[in-house]
Structure 1
């Protein structure tokens, strides 16, 4: 099979995201990549859930890990009676999908579908493990394929030669965007805010784009406004953890402030992804992570004992700061996202 991760960076290859094999799931530890290439091994689906919670994998990585975790759950219950296996898979689906509160809606789509195909296989006397594993690979192929279409629409908006600012790590769109820039023969360089405290921009986005042959400059999280002005940035773009139907964009904390700066300096902010049908601002729960993650970085504490931290993992950018939402089906205003669903849309996750 000519897979859709062809020509993408190391960490975007399917096996290097999360992979089930022989009763184990291995997940690339993105908390330390690229300084060190290390995989966390999970022998229980609850280990996979915990790895997602602990941010061993981030961005779209948890979606792959969730599917592989469901294959592991099927392995764990393979010697049980049929009804026990069915209940086991349903319970695993619920547990894994709630690994992080802000993305439960998307995760539930994945784990529920995995449970469904696994249960269907069991009722036919087939392997639930193989069915769920194949469903996860099919999901990856579908997601990479559709994000490749998003990338075409996004890169069409880029100048022939220009400077792009990103935020956090958009996973699939970052790699597909880079591949499409090469295909369109455009000369683009990137500025990546570091994205503390896990430094996904510095370690992950910058690594992928560098691996794919681009000039990349990392800046600290308090530099975007000045950088937009002084370096004459042309476009700000990010993926989104949730694209609400009312145009509100949930993404890694820091996105809103860059969007505000982009509007102030007159450059567009293009959000990439698939709108989340049925999701609105009032449905959003912003995950607040352990404050210890803020007062330390790379395992080194930066404050005196007793100093407190505050870590909302995401923020919400209102639609007035969003120039367009770039999807696989075209480019939409944040105010008319319902148009996206006027044609039948294949399940993305």
Structure 2
């Protein structure tokens, strides 16, 4: 499934805030609507929001194709900064927009309508490349698993979080389809329940057997069930392989080390940030405490209760067995 798609000169997304109760496709008309969709998690997942930001830039520049070259490129920079500011942790937005800006600058002497059309082509190319990369990740990742494996995953790193196939969930679906995986345990992933709402929905669509668990069941499941691997996605990976991913990932990595379970991170190279040496430099997005005081728009405690909602945590590379990418498998402990 493609969570973002261009059709008949219009851009559409699946509104992920409504799943799994309602499957709704909405049109995004300009960069401001795209920025809002990214902020409110209507589109989410590091590769997906990189792709979304590229399309958002295209939408924002469309009214300027008959303006001046100066106005067009000024707006290109302004729109890019607005989109970059939507979510600070995932590096894919900055990566995608740099690629778009570099492409525009390389053809800046062409007529603006041609530059705009070429930028649209580049955005679609970014999405197509991501899907191809995810298929490569899936094959590399499945090779790491034993036969008849039972795995555990956290949050959502499937087609909804990428161009349309998935990183961690791509490995799991491919593993099931090729007979490597028998069963999946899915963390619900508080506070916004991406595991329960999105990963379970995707696995249902692909007929992959799974069991949904609350986050605080993970340790017990690792102790009492035969978990062969934990597979998660990533939002930013530092030069030393320290990895930022959905809040709760660090706890799973610590548990995996205790129970001697392989802990795999799956991500494309667009998620790597070679500009930061380690995870201490990764900015962690702090979201509204209302996300903790509410469960899927149902308030569970008074507004006066203090609450925090860091969207991500950072897992040190020492706890990561391997990072699976489209270029192969990297083992942090052996790379230093």
- TM-score scaled by length of structure 2: 0.89
2:284 matched to 1:286?
yes
Q: Is the 8 A contact 2:279 2:316 kept in 1?
A: no
2:298 matched to 1:300?
yes
Q: Is the 8 A contact 1:23 1:75 kept in 2?
A: no
SS in 1 for 2:156: coil
* Match in the other structure for 1:117: 103
Aligned counterparts of 2:106 and 2:9: Cα–Cα separation in 1: 21
Aligned counterparts of 1:95 and 1:130: Cα–Cα separation in 2: 21
| Range 35-44 or range 142-151, more displaced | 35-44
Segments of 5+ residues of structure 2 without an aligned counterpart are: 159-165
2:52 matched to 1:65?
yes
* Match in the other structure for 2:245: 251
* Match in the other structure for 1:201: 195
- Residue 18 of structure 1: how far off its partner (Å): 2.1
| Range 272-281 or range 131-140, more displaced | 272-281
Aligned counterparts of 2:82 and 2:110: Cα–Cα separation in 1: 25
2:312 matched to 1:277?
no
Aligned counterparts of 2:13 and 2:310: Cα–Cα separation in 1: 25
CA 182–223 in structure 1, closer or farther in 2 if over 3 Å, else same: closer
- Residue 182 of structure 1: how far off its partner (Å): 4.7
CA 42–330 in structure 1, closer or farther in 2 if over 3 Å, else same: closer
Aligned counterparts of 1:243 and 1:96: Cα–Cα separation in 2: 20
Q: Is the 8 A contact 2:173 2:208 kept in 1?
A: no
Aligned counterparts of 2:334 and 2:227: Cα–Cα separation in 1: 27
- Residue 199 of structure 1: how far off its partner (Å): 1.1
Aligned counterparts of 2:96 and 2:57: Cα–Cα separation in 1: 9
Q: Is the 8 A contact 2:151 2:181 kept in 1?
A: no
| Range 65-74 or range 329-338, more displaced | 329-338
2:82 matched to 1:84?
no
**Residue 106 of structure 1, aligned match among 57, 76, 92:** 92
**Residue 191 of structure 1, aligned match among 185, 194, 214:** 185
- Residue 50 of structure 1: how far off its partner (Å): 1.9
* Match in the other structure for 1:156: 143
Aligned counterparts of 1:251 and 1:54: Cα–Cα separation in 2: 18
Deviations 1:104-131 (A, max 9, x none): x321121122233345555212433321
2:16 matched to 1:30?
yes
CA 185–21 in structure 1, closer or farther in 2 if over 3 Å, else same: closer
Q: Is the 8 A contact 1:20 1:71 kept in 2?
A: no
| Range 110-119 or range 198-207, more displaced | 110-119
Q: Is the 8 A contact 1:74 1:128 kept in 2?
A: no
Aligned counterparts of 1:298 and 1:312: Cα–Cα separation in 2: 17
* Match in the other structure for 1:260: 254
RMSD: 2.0
Aligned counterparts of 2:101 and 2:7: Cα–Cα separation in 1: 18
- Residue 23 of structure 1: how far off its partner (Å): 6.8
SS in 2 for 1:192: strand
SS in 1 for 2:234: coil
Q: Is the 8 A contact 1:245 1:337 kept in 2?
A: no
**Residue 330 of structure 2, aligned match among 326, 329, 332:** 332
2:220 matched to 1:226?
yes
